Amino acid sequence: GAKTDFDGETVTSHGYRQLPLEPGAQPVYMAALRSKMLEAAAEFSDGVILNLFPRQALPRMMEHIRAGAERAGKKLEDVEIVCRHQVIVTDDKAAARNFIRAGFAPYYATPVYNKFLSWSGYEDVAREIREGWAAKDRDRTTGALDDKLVDDIAILGSMEECHERIRDYAAGGITTHIISCVSPKETKATYDAFTAKHFSF
Residue 24 confidence class, pLDDT cut points 50, 70, 90:
confident
The secondary structure of residue 20, as a DSSP letter, is P
pLDDT at position 20 is 80
Q: State whether the Cα torsion 140-51-116-165 is positive or negative.
A: negative
Mean pLDDT for the stretch of residues 178-192:
96
Mean pLDDT for the stretch of residues 102-127:
97
85: helix, coil or strand?
A: strand
Inter-residue contact 29 to 80 (CB < 8 Å): yes
99: helix, coil or strand?
A: helix
Inter-residue contact 179 to 187 (CB < 8 Å): no
- pLDDT tens digits, one per residue of 57-97: 999 999 999 999 999 999 999 999 999 999 999 999 999 99
CA pair distance 2, 15, nearest whole angstrom:
9
CA pair distance 144, 149, nearest whole angstrom:
9
Mean pLDDT for the stretch of residues 159-183:
97
Domains observed in the chain: 27-193 (3.20.20.30)
CA pair distance 22, 2, nearest whole angstrom:
16
- pLDDT tens digits, one per residue of 134-160: 999 999 999 999 999 999 999 999 999
Q: Which distant-in-sequence residues (6+ apart) come within 8 Å of 5 by Cβ? A: 13, 14, 15
Q: Which distant-in-sequence residues (6+ apart) come within 8 Å of 96 by Cβ? A: 88, 90, 154, 156, 157, 183, 186
Q: Does residue 21 surpass a pLDDT of 90?
A: no
Mean pLDDT for the stretch of residues 161-188:
97
Which residue, among 28, 41, 50, 42, has the nearest Cα to 77 in the 3D structure?
Answer: 42
Query: Percentage of the chain surpassing pLDDT 70?
Result: 100
Higher pLDDT, residue 17 or 129: 129
Mean pLDDT for the stretch of residues 53-60:
97
Q: Does residue 161 surpass a pLDDT of 80?
A: yes
Mean pLDDT for the stretch of residues 20-34:
91
pTM score:
0.88
pLDDT at position 19 is 83
Q: Does residue 18 surpass a pLDDT of 90?
A: no
Put residue 48 in one of left, alpha, beta given phi > 0 → left and psi -120 to 50 → alpha. beta
